[in-house]
Amino acid sequence: MSKPHVCIVTPALASANNGNWHTAARWHRFLAALAEVDVAQAWRGEPVDALIALHARRSADSIARFHAAHPDRPLALVLTGTDLYRDMATDASAQHSLECASHVIVLQDEALQRLPAPARAKARVIVQSATRWVRHDQTQRSFDFVAVGHLRDEKDPLTLMHAACRLLGDSPIRVVHIGAALDEALGREAQRTAAECPRYRWLGGLPVEATRRWIARSRALVHMSRMEGGANVVIEAVRSRVPVLASRIDGNVGLLGRDYAGYFELGDADALAALMQRFAAEPAFAAQLRAQCALREPRFAPAVEAAAVRGLLSDLLASAATELLPQ
């Protein structure tokens, strides 16, 4: 018996080294034993039993063409942060994608509240995962906070730079910023900050393995993003037993929990600087954040995500079979 054929459409492939690509690549691995799976930037009319599309706006053309050609075939839409917290309110193509989808996936619990009732009825949460990558040598000479995210407005890199410049003169903290300059002006600002603020170091974009090493040997991850569907890097930090200092946005709260103690208000550089200094000065506070992250870690295991993604495929194929039954 031949395997079902599935196409995963993602607006970014491996060269982008971003969240969309990493999600598509993981899901390909999870489904490879059960289906013939292609990962592509667009659906070009090839015969498939189901389509899984990441990003309502950027994959809108593929979604619309697939739905028009095969209105009864299953179409799963994975919503990103820009979908949920920007495009769905104003972009007609993103709204049409949501209407076309037979199944809707969000990546953290808080996202369900952003969906209109018809979409919520066909939605589920699939939390992303990461391999465990723990530093075994716990002797740390420096007090590094690491932030990971390409330099673009949605990731709010300026708040990190401003916070680094506000750290007290006797603070042991160094802020290490990893991410390519997708916005040239932000890249220039990172260079200027690194030149003027000795506590701030910008490394540019790094390969996945090097980034994971930096996270694993840091004291904490700083995640100052404005909007997230469910950030891979937060999950990677928790799986490395590294606590997180995070902006209080749905994408972070949906992963770390409403009662997590390591939030700062979005865009507040003074609050972030104070939170970093408190973490460095108060071992009990740092231990509290580590303990809270440890409680969340089992949700982020690859086996949990794999089971959920395979369950999604089963439901997609079951809905396709139902459509073929005589009425």
User: Does 19 score more than 80 pLDDT?
Assistant: no
What pLDDT is recorded for position 135?
Answer: 79
Instruction: For the full predicted model, state whether its pTM sits above 0.75.
Output: yes
As a whole number of angstroms, the distance between CA 177 and CA 7 comes to 35
**CATH, residue 52:** 3.40.50.2000
User: Does 181 score more than 80 pLDDT?
Assistant: yes
φ, ψ of residue 201 to 5 degrees: the values are: -130, 125
pLDDT, tens digit, 9 for 90 and up, residues 120-168 = 999 999 999 999 998 766 556 679 999 999 999 999 999 999 999 999 8
- Residue 206 and residue 309 share a domain: no
- Residues spanned by the domain of 151: 143-300
- Residue 292 and residue 306 share a domain: no
Confidence class of residue 325 from pLDDT cuts 50, 70 and 90? Answer: very low
- Residue 291 and residue 147 share a domain: yes
- Residue 114 and residue 230 share a domain: no
pLDDT, tens digit, 9 for 90 and up, residues 274-292 = 999 999 999 999 999 999 9
Beta bridge partners of 40: 9
- Residue 165 and residue 98 share a domain: no
What pLDDT is recorded for position 241?
Answer: 96
As a whole number of angstroms, the distance between CA 35 and CA 29 comes to 10
What pLDDT is recorded for position 12?
Answer: 74
- Residue 76 and residue 46 share a domain: yes
Average of per-residue pLDDT across 49-71? 96
For residue 7, the surrounding DSSP H or E stretch is: strand 5-9
φ, ψ of residue 11 to 5 degrees: the values are: -70, -15
User: Does 15 score more than 80 pLDDT?
Assistant: no
CA dihedral 189, 190, 196, 197 (to 10 degrees): 130
Question: In the Cβ-directed half-sphere of 202, how many Cα atoms lie within 13 Å?
Answer: 24
Least confident of 154-163, 168-177, 230-239, 252-261: 168-177
| DSSP helix/strand/coil, 164 | helix
As a whole number of angstroms, the distance between CA 285 and CA 262 comes to 9
In a domain, 135, yes or no: no
Domain count, the chain: 2
Joined tokens for residue 207: 């390969």
Residue with tokens 């990441």: 54
DSSP-based helix, strand, coil % in the chain, nearest 5: 50, 15, 35
- Residue 192 and residue 292 share a domain: yes
Confidence class of residue 169 from pLDDT cuts 50, 70 and 90? Answer: confident
Residue with tokens 């932030």: 147
Q: DSSP per residue over 95-161, as a string?
A: HHHHHH-SEEEESSGGGGGGS-HHHHTTEEE----------S----SSEEEEEE--BSGGG-HHHHH
| DSSP helix/strand/coil, 13 | coil
Average of per-residue pLDDT across 111-117? 93
Identify the CA nearest to 109 among candidates 129, 126, 95: 126
Average of per-residue pLDDT across 161-188? 95
User: Does 1 score more than 70 pLDDT?
Assistant: no
pLDDT, tens digit, 9 for 90 and up, residues 65-104 = 999 999 999 999 999 988 999 999 999 999 999 999 999 9
Cβ-proximal residues to 1 (8 Å cutoff; 6+ apart), any chain: none
What pLDDT is recorded for position 324?
Answer: 44
In a domain, 221, yes or no: yes
User: Does 327 score more than 50 pLDDT?
Assistant: no
User: Does 321 score more than 70 pLDDT?
Assistant: no
Look over the chain and give the mean of its residue pLDDT values, rounded to a whole number: 93
What pLDDT is recorded for position 140?
Answer: 63
Joined tokens for residue 254: 């949906």
As a whole number of angstroms, the distance between CA 201 and CA 210 comes to 15
In a domain, 134, yes or no: no
Joined tokens for residue 116: 């209109």
